[in-house]
């Protein structure tokens, strides 16, 4: 006896290789013990009973959306800095003058775990209202062992409060904090000796910002070696503002993903393809920084690199809490197809988190994380700007919205 049977629906399963969107019309989905027990055409439904049956009246069902790159937890906001940028200052100039990430660090250090969770909750709820069921949340605004730990704890609290599956990432290597500006090595050692061992039991992965205003490839190499030794996965902010060879470095460490990639070289594309590393595209940051160099999407596509899309929700470069708007930006600014954009928030986002065995497509055995939409065509998910399309959301087979 199934727990739940959803009928009279169209399923965008997002399984590759078949119909566009893996779509099946007039379908049904059976849920048992939080997982998808059966999915297929309604006409083929086995003769099995369910404790509860719901008629979805022809709505579309997709995998619950997965936002695989966010900095959702932070203190304060940076609207004043944005106003300065609109008056001509650049992101790098502000960062070098002690604003930028460092100003969010100051606000984050002044907040308790509970205050951080409370401030992040509206952002998490906004994602959930747009169909997100899994979110990755990075630390990276504490930059000291205690505050980095509080950020990761707050990420767990936010997930519980907003009913989101959370994947947590240590981003202690986001920027060198001001108290270490003259002694970078000591900060890298602190990450390796204290923060990575401390995070090993809480976090799933370690990330770094490989950039002229962040960390050098050599520093990232040391940090990744330590992370892997502690059993943590790695991922990298690479080639956002300049080509540092970060993607190739990430690939050498079997990274789950390399993210941003505006300045990715052909060698970088080949390295990602060879390692099976996911390219995570972040059009919100590209848009908000008025960047003009788009990531080499055609080359990534040609090389068969899986592409994910994420909000990169953060106070400095992407104050974006709408996955559907991120999908639209990926299509309009980066020329993804709407199907690629949806794969970027489902199947490929799951891969970017190493969770592709459990989530990201609608298949028997996967978690029953589902989004139900008031749309006639799957392309509408990337088409509308700011529409309220979600009809219902299920996590592990439980309806949560």
DSSP track, 71-93:
----SS--HHHHHHHHTT--HHH
158, with CB counted inside 10 A (0-12, 13-18, 19+), is: buried
| Residue count, binding to ligand DI6 (CB under 6 A) | 14
Q: Phi-psi bin for 261: left (phi > 0), alpha (psi -120 to 50), beta?
A: left
Q: What is the DSSP letter of 375?
A: -
Residue 141 pairs in a beta bridge with: none
8 Å CB contact between 386 and 124: no
CB of 151 to ligand DI6, least distance (A): 13
Dist CA 78 CA 107 (whole Å) = 10
CB of 138 to Fe ion, least distance (A): 7
Applying CB under 6 A, does 101 fall inside the site for ligand DI6? yes
Q: Phi-psi bin for 385: left (phi > 0), alpha (psi -120 to 50), beta?
A: beta
B/e letters for 9-42, b = 16+ CB within 10 Å, e = fewer, are bbbbbbbeeeeebbbbeebbbbbbeebbbbbbee
Nearer to ligand DI6 by Cβ, of 275 and 280: the residue is 280
Element (H, E) at 391: strand 390-395
Applying CB under 6 A, does 316 fall inside the site for ligand DI6? yes
CB of 310 to ligand DI6, least distance (A): 11
Size (the chain), residues = 401
Residue 85, CA distances (Å) to 231, 272, 400 in order:
40, 33, 39
Give the interface segment with ligand DI6, choosing from 42-50, 60-68, 100-108, 266-274 (CB under 6 A): 100-108
Nearer to Fe ion by Cβ, of 286 and 394: the residue is 286
Give the interface segment with ligand DI6, choosing from 187-195, 308-316, 325-333, 367-375 (CB under 6 A): 308-316
Contact string 285-324 vs Fe ion (x = CB under 5 A):
---------------------------x------------
Dist CA 179 CA 181 (whole Å) = 6
CB of 244 to ligand DI6, least distance (A): 12
Dist CA 401 CA 398 (whole Å) = 9
- Looking at 268, 315, 378, 397, which residue binds ligand DI6 (CB under 6 A)? 315
Applying CB under 6 A, does 284 fall inside the site for ligand DI6? no
- Looking at 209, 286, 334, 373, which residue binds ligand DI6 (CB under 6 A)? 209
Q: Would the CA dihedral through 248, 249, 250, 254 be positive or negative? A: positive
The entry of ligand DI6, Fe ion, none near residue 316 (CB within 5 to 8 angstroms by kind) is ligand DI6
CB of 209 to Fe ion, least distance (A): 8
Dist CA 165 CA 185 (whole Å) = 35
Nearer to Fe ion by Cβ, of 262 and 339: the residue is 262
Applying CB under 5 A, does 207 fall inside the site for Fe ion? no
The entry of Fe ion, ligand DI6, none near residue 284 (CB within 5 to 8 angstroms by kind) is none
Applying CB under 6 A, does 393 fall inside the site for ligand DI6? no
8 Å CB contact between 172 and 191: yes
Within 10 angstroms of residue 285's Cβ, the number of other Cβ atoms is: 26
Residue number with the shortest CB distance to ligand DI6? 316
Give the interface segment with ligand DI6, choosing from 18-26, 246-254, 315-323, 359-367 (CB under 6 A): 315-323
Nearer to Fe ion by Cβ, of 116 and 208: the residue is 208
Binding to ligand DI6 in span 218-257, by CB under 6 A: 237, 240
Q: Can you give 288-302 as a three-state secondary structure string?
A: HCCCCCCCCHHHHHH
CB of 277 to ligand DI6, least distance (A): 18
Binding to ligand DI6 in span 59-88, by CB under 6 A: 71
Give the interface segment with ligand DI6, choosing from 159-167, 182-190, 309-317, 319-327 (CB under 6 A): 309-317
Dist CA 383 CA 159 (whole Å) = 28
- Looking at 169, 311, 314, 346, which residue binds ligand DI6 (CB under 6 A)? 314
Binding to ligand DI6 in span 317-356, by CB under 6 A: 317
By CB under 5 A, name the binding residues for Fe ion.
312
Note the residues at the interface with ligand DI6 (CB under 6 A).
71, 100-101, 104, 174, 209, 237, 240, 285, 312, 314-317
């Amino acid at each position: 006896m199934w727990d739940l049977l959803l009928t009279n629906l169209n399923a965008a399963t997002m399984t590759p290789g078949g119909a566009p969107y893996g779509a099946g019309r007039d379908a049904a989905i059976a849920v048992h013990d939080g997982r998808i027990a059966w999915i297929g055409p309604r006409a083929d439904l086995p003769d099995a009973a369910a404790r509860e049956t719901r008629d979805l009246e022809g709505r579309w069902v997709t995998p619950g959306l997965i936002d695989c790159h966010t900095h959702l937890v932070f203190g304060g906001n940076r609207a004043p800095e944005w106003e300065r940028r609109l008056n001509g200052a650049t992101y790098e100039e502000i960062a070098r003058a002690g604003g930028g990430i460092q100003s969010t660090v100051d606000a984050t250090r002044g907040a308790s775990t509970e205050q951080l969770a409370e401030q992040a909750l509206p952002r998490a709820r906004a994602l959930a209202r747009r169909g997100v069921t899994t979110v990755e949340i990075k630390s990276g605004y504490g930059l000291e062992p205690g505050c980095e730990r509080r950020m990761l704890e707050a990420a767990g609290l936010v997930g519980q409060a907003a009913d989101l599956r959370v994947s947590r990432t240590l981003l202690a290597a986001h920027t060198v904090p001001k108290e270490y500006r003259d002694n970078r090595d000591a900060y890298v050692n602190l990450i390796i000796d204290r923060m990575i061992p401390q995070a090993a039991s809480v976090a799933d992965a370690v990330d770094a910002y490989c950039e002229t205003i962040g960390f050098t490839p050599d520093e990232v190499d040391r940090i990744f070696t330590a992370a892997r030794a502690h059993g943590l996965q790695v991922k990298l902010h690479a080639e956002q503002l300049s080509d540092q060879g970060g993607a190739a470095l990430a690939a050498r460490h079997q990274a789950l993903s390399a993210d941003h990639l505006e300045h990715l070289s052909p060698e970088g594309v080949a390295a990602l393809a060879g390692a099976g590393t996911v390219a995570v595209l972040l059009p919100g940051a590209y848009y908000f920084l008025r960047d003009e160099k788009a990531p080499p999407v055609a080359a990534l596509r040609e090389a068969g690199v899986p592409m994910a899309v994420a909000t990169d929700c953060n106070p400095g470069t992407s104050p974006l809490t709408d996955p559907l708007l991120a999908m639209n930006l990926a299509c309009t600014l980066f020329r993804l197809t709407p199907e690629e954009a949806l794969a970027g928030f489902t199947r490929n986002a799951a891969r970017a988190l190493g969770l592709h065995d459990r989530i990201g497509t609608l298949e028997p055995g996967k978690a029953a994380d589902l989004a139900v939409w008031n749309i006639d065509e799957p392309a509408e998910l990337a088409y509308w700007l700011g529409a309220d399309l979600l009809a219902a959301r299920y996590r592990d087979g439980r309806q949560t919205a």
